[in-house]
Amino acid sequence: MAAKRNTVTTQIPETPPEGTSLALDTRLSRHVESVIPKKRQEALKWYGWGYNDSQFYGQQGIICFKGDKYPLSGCELPSFTNWVKSKFNLDLDAKRTYPQLPETYPKPVQNAPFLNELRGCTKVEHSQEGVDRLVRSHGQTLNDIYSLWHNKFERIPDLVVWPRCHDEVVQLVRLAHKHNVMLLPFGGGTSVSGAVTCPQKEERMICVLDTSQMNRMLWLNRENLTVCFESGIVGQDLERVLREQGLTVGHEPDSYEFSTLGGWVATRASGMKKNVYGNIEDLVVRVRMVTPSGTLERECSAPRVSCGPDFNHIILGSEGTLGVITEVVLKVRPVPPVQRYGSLVFPDFEQGVLFMREVARRRCQPASVRLMDNEQFLFGQALKPEKSWLASCLDAIKQRYVTVWKGIDLTHICAATLLFEGEQKDVQRQEALIYEIAARYKGFPAGGQNGERGYLFTFVIAYIRDFALHQGIVAESFETSVPWDRCSLLCRCVKQRVVSECARHNILHYTISARVTQTYDAGACIYFYFGFRYLNIPDPVEVFEAIEHCAREEILACGGSLSHHHGVGKIRSHWYRNAVTETGSALYSAAKQHLDPRNIFAAGNLLPAQEKLKKPAEAAAAATTPTAATAALKAKL
């Protein structure tokens, strides 16, 4: 007798399926009360990042932070104020106001047969209210936010739907395919690649499929340490539910508070603790995706199968272009009994990179180890709240210790933050080994408090972009992955390229910095942070994107990847064909044609529209003239 299929199901079985353990606990299946309400604008900013009550602001010439969810809440930041003034030659303008919701919205395109069948044959909740459509018209790119602030969106979605389970998604996809309505899957709206930005040239009715009401934990198998969640669950909700059971997934991207499980899968996300728990592709056991041609999923939940190409990997990284991810089976781990932070200081970035390389070579990485360059180190120090007289004296003593006794130049110093997790003895053993390796590269411990602050401030830093824009500064991050032998060189070349492009655009006040955030056997992930103050620049975002385009060309010329974990989206689609070859792009197109023959998932991600294949003239001109740094690299290679 054939064994029954071990299915991922929307309907919860009364008894465990054949072949599974009694540890499969379906009694835990429940809807999760999310920190983000269905009307997301009630808790989150419609015009930028994060919670409504959390924000940097200016008061009496000092930058402050308000809100009650972060370590900086309620703090005055005089050092950060001075850093901003010196870096951007900027005095705070407290009179500037933030944008207000528009009074009118673009009129929705109507598809009467689709709407009639939606209302008559399904129970799916939906809305055509302007504000519901607006807040789901964008992600978190600089272009998205700048367009919101200046009311530049000519096209926003025409309808928002909230399916509650896999079966309702099946209904919606069938209806959209039948009536030729475009579907745009929407999770947390945290994309920084333009992946969820509403296509401005789409003529069909655009229906945003908001997965936020699909956030149940469907089952938990304690014996196998696997769990099944619906795709709309937000990262912090997922972890909270699991920790109530003494378990964790351990996936913490920078967007963890607001991004969703489905979004992690759709973009091939990576988390800060991937050294212990893995990237999302390492955590996924099975995934279910609804397409116009049917539901795509793997039959078996075995830990590994050799059964031709793995269709999980068709879904991973598909960026909403093939279908809607509805359910995901994940690996989980017991919550570690010990969590300890640490930090290291190195005399310069190159020594820090050598340390990171040796740690990766020996495969002894802690849960998180991240190296910041001198510019980011100084920025992080500036973010410290105002201290008492005694604390300031202690800081002065520490600085003297570093500069005089250790002989480190503060204009080159860099630092690494560490997070250890595991059993007490294992953590102690790992700490000793990490500090021993650091000493070989002139590094020394700088305390657990600095490490914890650096790790947790990751979630606060995201709020700076909107405050900067409010003060006339455009800023954004971009990332890549690169082999170890080109890591330091790539950082130098990209920084030099940005500096030269700023000079070409007569930009005097800017910042460009880098950090190494994830390590692998063969290479590392590098984040760049770039921002400039715009004076007498009519369209600062266009200039920013032109400079970033040049930086990306430099990254690729140095052997870096198109993206490590942000994905391709729309803003990097220009390079996708070259990244995967013509054969690879044709293979993707064939899969797209089979799964979505009417192109109802027309987000415009990965492969660009025909009119986008040509580079912007300015960026193209710059790209044809490689810098000396690139020329030197090519000569070396």
* Rounded CA separation 302/286 (Å): 9
Instruction: Check: CB of residue 171 under 8 Å from CB of residue 183.
Output: no
* Residues in binding site: 185-191, 254-260, 267-270, 319-325, 465
Going from the C-alpha of 506 to that of each of 142, 481, 512, 513, the distances in angstroms are: 21, 30, 16, 19
DSSP line for 474-517: EEEEEEEEEEGGGHHHHHHHHHHHHHHHHHHTT--SEEEEEEEE
Pairing mode, strands 247-248 and 284-291: unpaired
Q: What pLDDT does residue 399 have?
A: 56
Instruction: Check: CB of residue 608 under 8 Å from CB of residue 567.
Output: no
Of 3.90.226.10, 3.40.50.170, 3.30.70.3450, 3.40.50.300, the CATH number of 337-461 is: 3.30.70.3450
Q: Is 411 left (phi over 0), alpha (psi -120 to 50) or beta?
A: alpha
Report the chain's terminal Cα–Cα distance, integer Å: 60
DSSP line for 160-191: EEE--SHHHHHHHHHHHHHHT-EEEEESS---
Structure tokens at 485: 């032998």
The answer to whether 99-335+576-606 and 473-571+613-637 have equal CATH topology is no
* Rounded CA separation 608/629 (Å): 30
- Read off the amino acid at residue 470: H
The SS3 assignment for 352 reads helix
Going from the C-alpha of 61 to that of each of 96, 276, 385, 427, 461, the distances in angstroms are: 13, 43, 15, 44, 20
Among candidate residues 527, 529, 534, 576, the one labeled active-site is 527
Q: What pLDDT does residue 500 have?
A: 98
Q: Is 463 a catalytic residue?
A: no
Closest CA to 475 of 11, 164, 56, 20: 56
CATH 3.30.300.330 fits 473-571+613-637, yes or no: yes
Pairing mode, strands 333-334 and 444-445: unpaired
Instruction: Check: CB of residue 164 under 8 Å from CB of residue 214.
Output: yes
Q: Which residues pair with 260 in a beta bridge?
A: 234
Q: What pLDDT does residue 628 have?
A: 46
* Rounded CA separation 265/587 (Å): 20
Q: How many CB atoms lie within 10 A of CB 143?
A: 20
Half-sphere exposure for 531 (CA within 13 Å, toward CB): 22
Instruction: Check: CB of residue 565 under 8 Å from CB of residue 270.
Output: yes
Q: What pLDDT does residue 453 have?
A: 86
Q: Is 245 exposed, middle or buried (0-12, 13-18, 19+ CB in 10 A)?
A: middle
Residues of the chain with pLDDT under 50: 1-22, 388-390, 392-394, 397, 611-625, 628, 634-637
Q: What pLDDT does residue 236 have?
A: 97
Give the sheet arrangement for strand 294-296, strand by strand: 24-25, 217-221, 226-230, 324-331, 284-291, 294-296
The CATH code that applies to domain 99-335+576-606 is 3.30.465.10
Calculate the dihedral angle through the C-alpha atoms of 247, 250, 253, 255, rounding to the nearest 10 degrees.
Answer: 10
Q: Which residue has the tokens 């002894």?
A: 364
Distance from CA of residue 393 to its chain's centroid? Answer: 38
Q: What pLDDT does residue 112 have?
A: 98
* Residues in binding site for substrate: 465
Domain boundaries, the chain: 99-335+576-606, 337-461, 473-571+613-637
**Angle value at C-alpha 287, between 284 and 198, nearest 5 degrees:** 105
The SS3 assignment for 109 reads coil
Instruction: Check: CB of residue 92 under 8 Å from CB of residue 398.
Output: no
